[in-house]
């Protein structure tokens, strides 16, 4: 999702403001633009739009209203906490009775409406300091990434650890899990790079597999297929392996018992 730890600690912040009330959202964006440390500002009027922006871009911090229709701010923050590199979160609300829950979710700050410019400046300062600490600490161990998938206006959360194989579908990728498949607007090449350290390997231009799900390989005609275990009424899956990926697959399967992948 986000890769903000790769940025310079002094680079301008990319911030997402989320509020379902447009006047409040406009005011928050206006006040954020006045902050020297803030560069790009993006806005969302609901959690679904926010998740789409967070999935497609690199966001350093989210300024988040709590009371919103659908997923509220606390629920959205809980989802963000599962991101591989979660953005920092500041809650902006008219209610002072949710602070404990907010800080339990690791919030950087809790701002009450109406906003005061000096108080907002303090939140931005904390975000900048938090980013510096992340950079100084170096990369953290990968966690189980969460992919938000939209279907019919409903957002479903798919954990990377539940994905058994990925199928290329043009500029999209289809994530196959024990519960079904989910189409996401992410090229398979991006997932190949992003998930390599979590035990995923490209075996064909159209397929990426989770190595811990592989039960074996076998020869079919002049080529190889990789076998993945089935679930319940679903039979085992066999996927073609291209010649140029064969050696790497065999090598990784031989080393598999010696290697531990995170979030598995």
221 CB contacts (<8 Å, ≥6 apart)? none
Residue 176: the pLDDT is: 94
pLDDT number for residue 102:
77
Q: Is the pTM of this model over 0.75?
A: no
Q: Where exactly are the structural domains of the chain?
A: 11-135, 144-253
**Mean pLDDT in order along the chain per 10 residues (264 residues):** 57 96 96 96 94 86 93 88 86 83 82 92 93 69 70 76 94 90 89 89 96 88 87 81 90 60 41
Distance (Å, rounded) from C-alpha 18 to C-alpha 89? 11
pLDDT at 1: 46
Whole-number Å distance between alpha carbons of 54 and 77: 12
* Phi-psi domain of 199 (left: phi exceeds 0; alpha: psi -120 through 50; beta: other): left
* Alpha-carbon distances, residue 89 vs 16, 43, 62, 194 (angstroms): 10, 14, 5, 23
CATH superfamily of domain region 11-135: Response regulator (3.40.50.2300)
pLDDT for res 215: 87
| Separation in Å, CA 198 to CA 40, 68, 183, 191, 195 | 31, 34, 20, 11, 5
Q: What is the pLDDT of residue 256?
A: 54
Q: 210 near 165, Cβ under 8 Å?
A: yes
Report whether CATH 3.40.50.720 matches the domain 144-253: no
Q: What is the pLDDT of residue 259?
A: 44
Q: How much is the pLDDT for 125?
A: 92
pLDDT at 8 (0 to 100): 67
Residue 88 contacts residue 60 (beta carbons within 8 Å) = yes
């Amino acid at each position: 999702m986000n890769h903000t730890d790769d940025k310079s600690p002094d680079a301008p912040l990319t911030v997402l403001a989320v509020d379902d009330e447009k006047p409040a959202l406009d005011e928050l964006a206006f006040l954020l633009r006045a902050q020297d440390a803030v560069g790009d500002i993006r806005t969302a009027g609901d959690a679904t739009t926010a998740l789409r922006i967070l999935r497609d871009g690199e966001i350093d911090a989210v300024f988040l209203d709590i009371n919103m229709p659908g997923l509220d701010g606390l629920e959205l923050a809980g989802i963000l906490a599962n991101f591989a590199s979660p953005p920092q979160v500041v809650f902006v609300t008219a209610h002072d009775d949710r602070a404990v829950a907010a800080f339990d979710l690791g919030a950087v700050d809790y701002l009450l409406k109406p906003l005061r410019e000096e108080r907002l400046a303090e939140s931005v300062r904390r975000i900048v300091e938090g980013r510096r600490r992340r950079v100084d600490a170096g990369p953290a161990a990968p966690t189980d990434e969460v992919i938000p998938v939209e279907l019919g206006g409903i957002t479903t959360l798919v954990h990377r650890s539940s994905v058994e194989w990925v199928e290329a579908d043009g500029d999209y990728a289809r994530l196959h899990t024990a519960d079904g498949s989910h189409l996401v607007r992410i090229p398979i090449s991006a997932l190949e790079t992003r998930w390599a350290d979590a035990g995923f390997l490209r075996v064909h231009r159209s397929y990426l597999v989770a190595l811990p799900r592989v039960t074996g390989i076998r020869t079919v005609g002049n080529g190889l297929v990789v076998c993945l275990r089935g679930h319940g009424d679903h039979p085992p899956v066999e996927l073609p392996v291209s010649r140029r990926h064969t050696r790497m697959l065999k090598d990784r399967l031989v080393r598999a018992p010696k290697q531990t992948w995170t979030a598995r």
